Chain A
Amino acid sequence: MIELRGVQLDLPGGARFTYDLSVATGVSLGVIGPSGAGKSTLLHLIAGFLQPVAGIVELEGVDHSRSDPSQRPVSMVFQANNLFDHLDVATNVGLGIGPAFKKSGDDLGKVVDALDRVGLGGFEGRRVSSLSGGEAQRVALARALVRDRPILLLDEPFAALGPSMRRDFTQLVSTMQKEKQLTMLTVSHTPQELTDLCDELAFINDGTITARGPVETMLNGSDNSDLRDYLGHPAD
């Protein structure tokens, strides 16, 4: 569960973003909006990479407004650079269990299972540089699996993938979210992916959530003029 109450963030140049948001456990929410509107900023606030100047960030019922990113019940998959290039695939996934250098036999088993789940069984010893874009994103997902946190944040994770890879990856994420009842926030510019992945959509404009609703309603029947402009459906 995610609760943001009166969360404010000051940006260089004097602008201020303000977020109020509630996402129940197991709900998948898509986040859309123009470039620079504050979509990724919202995810970074929840993940703890940014600290609000006011307000409460409550995750799974606990106030995490000031806690370290690694202490939050959150896994995040970025658009790119999700992996350490100099480490092999197994070590990258293993870091999801914890930062310790040595891993137990159980831990290694979890890594192998997670890679199997994302269709990369046998990739344990591969170098990151030898992976395709889609494989790299799957490794990041495998790490999120072993990390086993109840909230998953996806910041344009499909942007660097080709159409068929996008489809496969979307399916994989959707299955994982439903199985584990993850609370999930996905930033994307592609309506199709959001339709496949999300229960609801939130529209952010100028650092504020100005519209929210079921995916179909938001994409086709919203009366929010900014959202209609953004989607290319200007008012009749």
Chain B
Amino acid sequence: MNRAALPGLLVVLGFGSFILLALVLLFLAGDGLPLERLAGRQVRAILTFTLTQSLLSTGLSIAGALPLAVLLHRHRAFVGRDTLVRLLALPLALPPLVAVLGILEIWGRSGVVSAGLQSLGFDVRLDVFGLQGVLLAHVFFNLPLAARLMLAHLERQPATTFRLADQLGLVGWARFTRVEWPLLRPSLGGVAGLIMMLCIGSFTIVLTLGGGPRAATFEVAIYQALRFDFAPSLAALYTLIQLVLAGTLLFLLSVVGGAPQDRAGALPEEAGFTRPVPVWGVGLLILTTLFLLAPLAALVAGGLVAEWGRLIQNPRLWSAAMTSGVIAACAGLVAVATAYALLVARSRGFGANGIAKHLFEAGYGAVGSAVLAVPPIVLGAGWFLALRGVPAQTLLAGGLVMLVNALMALPFVLRVMAPAFAASERRYGALSSSLGLTGWRRFVRVDLPVLARPFAVALAFALVLSVGDLGAAAIFGAYDLVTLPVLILNLMGSYRTGDAAGVAFLLGVFVFALIAMAERSHKVLG
């Protein structure tokens, strides 16, 4: 081990302690775990709802994504294909609360669909609150994700496989059963596991669309136990169950080989397939586009008709924007700096082998993906209890939300930075070592200029995640910490949906501007 390992080691120890302390604080706060409630009706109801909604969300998302991915892979030349592939990435970047508002505008009681049905003479008002609303929102987020993952999986197969299928005249159902399904099947476990993981840990969607205590995941239950009932022991019990659920799923995910990589749209042109899109395909493409675009369009429309004159004079909006901006900027910088320290330590800090390297690798993996097993709401819950009776609560709460957000962004930041860092190491690693470029000098002379764009892209992703996060911020809202998502939630709670739509529009514009900048950088990066 050498000096290059130190910052990375400090990160692993620091974040590791941050996570462990959050859990310890939570478990010590109450009067012991109420284990007798494990078999109680409430826990059973939450468990049933959590598993039901996550299984159904996963099944529906995959059922919709499978034909879409196959279609997009088979037909590469139709007008709008690239736009649709990009549209599939949009929900991934959209803050959940913003999407929820868009979904309400379309599918809510006073939404576009209800109005349309009534104008056709049907006396129907859709009720989106409850399991159906949760499923709708989860499918809105996860169908595009699943489609992109499956499309990327197909695109990674050798082009000759599909050329051979073309040559043999395998089209339609025969092509699906003989070629595409056997190729996709091994990746489905990973895709399903990932979606299930996201749905089990769903907080914002269930909180806003669940429609009350009868529809709660464990994350929502933790929030409610702390914010409304102030029952730390119950929150600790729910945390324990959530950890077991997430841990089991993570383990199963690792057994099936993890989620495939998302690199849709990378196939060379010549591997394309130029038959016209069949009728069922045209229908599917139109439905998918409408399903994804309608809430976004409704958001824009809602934003444009908001009472901006009144809204921009509201000091709470500017205060929330400032709070969100500062927290997101700090979280982004911390996440990028942390990822850099981890990557440097991993690549330059240890010899080729040895116990220290293996231990660090384990720590790197744990910190890099901790947020999947220990979600933001759990981290926030532990530290929320620690702030009771402490002076400068709002400031400390802001710092803690920032740290939770940084940790939450870390897996995504690492995913952007690690390949670029590895490429730079392959290219300049030996040369830099032979010239004695280490530490600060290596950062300034080599890493910063070479990796400036991946750093910027990673920072943009971290900002997007942080600025749209409701999980940790919602818990700390009790300490007068109001971010933009918390403000939207408060406005929705007081039935000021017009104002909520306006703030959501602002947040959406900010997020899409960041994504557009990141996309441009990605293009330049190649």
A is bound by B: yes
Q: Can you list, as one digit per residue, whether each of B30-62 has a CB less than 8 Å from chain A (1) or not (0)?
A: 000000000000000000000000000000000
Q: Does B449 belong to the interface (CB within 8 Å)?
A: yes
Judged by a CB distance under 8 angstroms, whether B435 is at the interface is yes
Cβ-defined contact, B433 with A69, below 8 A: yes
Q: A51-B352, A81-B427, A81-B428 are in contact. Are A86 and B433 (CB under 8 A)?
A: no
Question: Contacts A84-B446, A99-B445 known; A78 to B431 CB distance under 8 Å?
Answer: yes
Q: Which residues of B contact A87 (CB under 8 A)?
A: 445, 449
For residue A74, CB closer than 8 A to chain B, the reply is yes
Contacts across chains A and B counted by CB atoms under 8 Å: 59
Please give, as numbers and ranges, the residues of chain A lying within 8 Å of B436 by CB-CB distance.
68, 70-71, 98-99
* Contact (Cβ within 8 A) B445 A70: no
Residues of B within 8 A of A76 (CB): 430, 434
Q: Which chain A residues (170-194) contact chain B, with CB distance < 8 Å?
A: none
B351 within 8 A of A: yes
Q: How far is the CA of A100 from the CA of B436 in the complex (A)?
A: 10
List A residues 40-79 near B (Cβ within 8 Å).
44, 47-51, 68-71, 74-76, 78
Which B residues lie within 8 Å of A99 (CB)?
435-438, 441-442, 445
Chain A: CB-nearest residue to B429: A49
Q: Is B320 an interface residue (CB 8 A)?
A: no
Closest to B353 in A: A10
Q: Is A70 touching B449 in the complex (CB atoms < 8 A)?
A: no
Shortest distance in angstroms between B220's beta carbon and chain A's nearest beta carbon? Answer: 47
Q: How far is the CB of A117 from the nearest CB of chain B, in Å?
A: 19
CB nearest neighbor in B for A80: B427
Please give the distance in Å from A129's CB to the nearest CB on chain B: 13
Whether B450 is near chain A, meaning CB under 8 Å from some CB there, is: yes
Consensus secondary structure, chain B interface: helix
Name which residue of chain A comes closest to B448, CB basis. Answer: A86
Are the CB atoms of B428 and A84 closer together than 8 Å?
yes
| Chain B residues within an 8 Å CB radius of A84 | 428, 431, 445-446, 449-450
Contact B434 A47 (CB under 8 A): yes
B358 to chain A, nearest CB (A): 15
Q: Are B430 and A69 in contact (CB under 8 A)?
A: yes
Closest to B442 in A: A99
Q: Are A70 and B434 in contact (CB under 8 A)?
A: yes
Taken together as a complex, chains A and B put the C-alpha atoms of A50 and B434 apart, in Å, by 12
Q: Is A37's CB within 8 Å of the partner chain B?
A: no
User: Counting CB contacts under 8 A, is A82 at the interface?
Assistant: yes
Give, as a whole number of angstroms, the nearest-CB distance from A110 to chain B. Answer: 15
B428 touches A95 (CB 8 A): no
- Min C-beta distance of A173 to chain B, whole Å: 18
Q: Which residues of B contact A95 (CB under 8 A)?
A: 435, 437, 445
Taking a contact as CB atoms under 8 Å apart, the answer to whether A49 and B433 are in contact is yes
Complex alpha-carbon distance, A81 and B434, angstroms: 13
Docked complex Cα distance between A130 and B435 (Å): 23
Asked if A101 and B441 sit within 8 Å, CB to CB, the answer is yes
List residues 415-451 of chain B with CB under 8 A from any CB of chain A. Answer: 427-428, 430-431, 433-438, 441-442, 444-446, 449-450
- Measured between beta carbons, the chain A residues less than 8 angstroms from B431 are 78, 81-82, 84
A96 within 8 A of B: yes
B435 surroundings in chain A (CB, below 8 A):
70, 95-96, 99
Chain A proximity of B434: nearest CB distance (Å): 5
Determine the distance from Cα of A68 to Cα of B296 in the docked complex, in whole angstroms: 56
A-B complex: 3 closest residue pairs judged by Cβ atoms: A70-B436, A86-B449, A69-B433
CB pairs A–B below 8 angstroms (17 shown): A47-B430, A47-B434, A50-B352, A68-B433, A68-B436, A70-B436, A70-B438, A75-B434, A81-B431, A86-B450, A96-B435, A98-B436, A99-B435, A99-B437, A99-B438, A99-B445, A100-B441
6 further A-B pairs in the complex, CB-CB below 8 A; given A68-B436, A78-B431: A70-B434, A84-B431, A95-B435, A95-B445, A99-B438, A99-B442
